[in-house]
Structure formats: structure tokens, C-alpha cells
Amino acid sequence: MNVDELFAGLFTQGMVTNESYRTAARPNGVWLCPGEVTKQPDGSAVGRDTGKPVIVGRIEAMSKSKRNTVDPDAIIARYGADSARWFILSDNPPDRDVEWTEAGVAGALRLTQRVIRLAEALHPTPEEPPTGAVGPAVRALRQATHRTIASVTEALDTFAFNVAVARLYEFASAISDSERLPDQPELVRACREALETLSHLMSPTMPHLAEEVHAWLQPDSPALVAEFPRPEPGLALVAMDSVTIAVQVMGKQRAMVTAPPDAPADQVIATAEAKPNVARLLKGKRVVKRVHVPNRIVNFVVAG
């Protein structure tokens, strides 16, 4: 029977790796699991019960034969399933190996706790969406919200899960920073919109936390976060107000200028040329070429 291949390609995920430990050199050494070992400040290790030195092996794929696995039940009991999943996704692109560390999963737990604190603070606030008519802080947070929607959507669509996680970390920090600003109703609404968006965006990676936050903010909602359509970014809020452009002389950066996105080349070049450090380097020299890469670089090539 002639059957076409069902899939266009195979995406191979990396392995979860960990250090291995044994009681003595081969062939008589006994492999120990991480829970049977106590690490020392200098990187060495001893048996947790015996206190005797343990040989620390190389970091390699977790396997039952070398007993360098971690107990998922213990990790979930201590940190939660969401934190464990979040750390694994955050550490590397999914096609690369991931080194398991307690510090990494503990960091993921801290993010979980931060989001819960934000939800506790914001869940009594009004549900009306912000108008965007008040102050630069409100606009900045709304821009962060909609730019995060765009960047996380792109990252998830391209399997760049670690990039999506990084953008969500940044977004949670932006919400925390805005929540500490002086109380104003419009900013509180913008924070609530941001937190609701965060719950939707983290649903594929932290589903339990996402549903918990959604239930606090929308207690009467009949649907789960997972049942909602993916958030769509507002193009007006995604658009940048200005861009920062590097100014180079003979390929070496000498200054930075800001300009509106896609500003005319002659305007950007004139602004760059007027920068004191650039003007000093160009004085008395013939500018052979002015290179303008829109929204990124101006480079002056000089002779003499």
C-alpha cells in the first residue's frame, strides 16, 4: 500500500540532564541518586547518610541505570507541577538538553508566588478595560501588554518556548513595577488587563496557575482560560513610539540617537552627525560614505 508520510518533519526534543554520583571508582562503585548525596560548597559531595566522599560524575542524560533521576512526585510536592514544567521550558530551546537544577525550579516557584500576590491584590478591582487616556505609565503598561502578546505568540508558534517564558518573566516584572506606582484608577485597570492577559499567555506553560488567576479575576466566568481564543495584540499599542539607533564611525560605535520608527534617512543621519563625539571624529576628514540601516545603524566611512 502506498501511504504518504503523515508529517512534514520530526522535531526531536533534548534530554533532561543531571550530575551522576557513585561511591567509588569503577568497577566497584555504587551509583547514588541525588537524594542520597549532600553537595559541598566547593563542588564536592559526600553521602548523606555516611558522610563519606562521593565521586561526582559528568552531567549526562537522566537514566535509571545511573540513578541520576529526580523523583517527580517529590518535585511536584515541593514546587508544584507548573514550576517544574516552567523551568524545563525556560532553560533552553526544546531541541537542546536541559540541565536540571534545584535553583532553577526554585526560581520558577518564585515567579508563581509573585503572580499569585498580584492576583490577590488586583482581583477586587473593576473589570472595565482601560481607556488608554491617562498618563505615560498607563500607556507604557498597555504597550507592554500588547507587545508581549505579539512576542509570545510568535515564540510559541515557532517552538521557541524558552523565549516565550523569558518574555513572560519580563511582563510579570512590568506588572509588578506598575502595581507599585501611586494608585490611580486607570492604572489599576491597566494592571488588571495585564494580569488577565498574563493568565491567558501562560496557560500553555503554567495551566494550573493560569486557571487559578483567571478564577480570581473572573469568578463568574463559565469558561476555562484554555477555552478562550488566543489574545490578539492591538497594533496601535504594539507600534514603537521611537527607536534607538547606534551611530558608528568606521564601524565603531560612538553614540546613540533616538528617532521615530522609519524616520527619513537624511533626518537620522543629520541627527547622528550632530552628536558631539561624532562631530569631533568627523572634523577635518572627508566622509566617503554614509550608511543608514533603517531603525538600527548609521555608519560614517571617512578618509584622511
C-alpha dihedral over 191, 195, 200, 202, to 10 degrees? 130
CATH, domain range 102-238 = 1.10.730.10
- The predicted structure's pLDDT at residue 275: 93
pTM tops 0.75, yes or no? no
Please state, rounded to an integer, the average pLDDT across all residues of the chain: 87
Over range 22-51, report the average pLDDT. Answer: 85
Average pLDDT on 152-172 reads: 93
Task: Work out the average pLDDT over 117-129.
Answer: 74
Judge whether residue 76 has pLDDT over 80: yes
- List pLDDT tens digits, range 177-229: 988 777 778 888 889 899 999 999 999 999 999 999 999 888 888 889 999 99
Instruction: Decide if 145 contacts 237 (C-beta within 8 A).
Output: yes
Quick one: cell of 223? 469558561
**Span 1-69: which CATH code?**
2.20.28.290
CATH 3.40.50.2300 corresponds to the domain 243-303: no
Verify cis geometry, omega within 30 degrees of 0, for the bond prior to 219.
no
pLDDT recorded at residue 212? 93
CA separation (Å) from 244 to 233, 240, 276? 23, 10, 17
Determine which of 76-80, 98-102, 196-200 has the lowest per-residue pLDDT on average.
98-102
Q: What are the two backbone dihedrals, phi and then psi, of residue 217, each rounded to the nearest 5 degrees? A: -80, -30
Confidence category of residue 261, pLDDT binned at 50, 70, 90: confident
Residue 207 is predicted with a pLDDT of 95
DSSP notation for 144-174? HHHHHHHHHHHHHHTT-HHHHHHHHHHHHHH
Q: Between the CA of residue 99 and those of 15, 17, 20, 70, 89, what are the distances in Å?
A: 9, 5, 12, 12, 11
Domain ranges of the chain: 1-69, 102-238, 243-303
Q: What is the Cα–Cα distance from 267 to 243, expressed in whole angstroms?
A: 14
Choose the weakest-confidence range: 183-197, 229-243, 284-298: 229-243
Whether residue 132 is predicted with pLDDT greater than 60 in this model: the reply is no
Q: C-alpha grid cell for residue 80?
A: 508544584
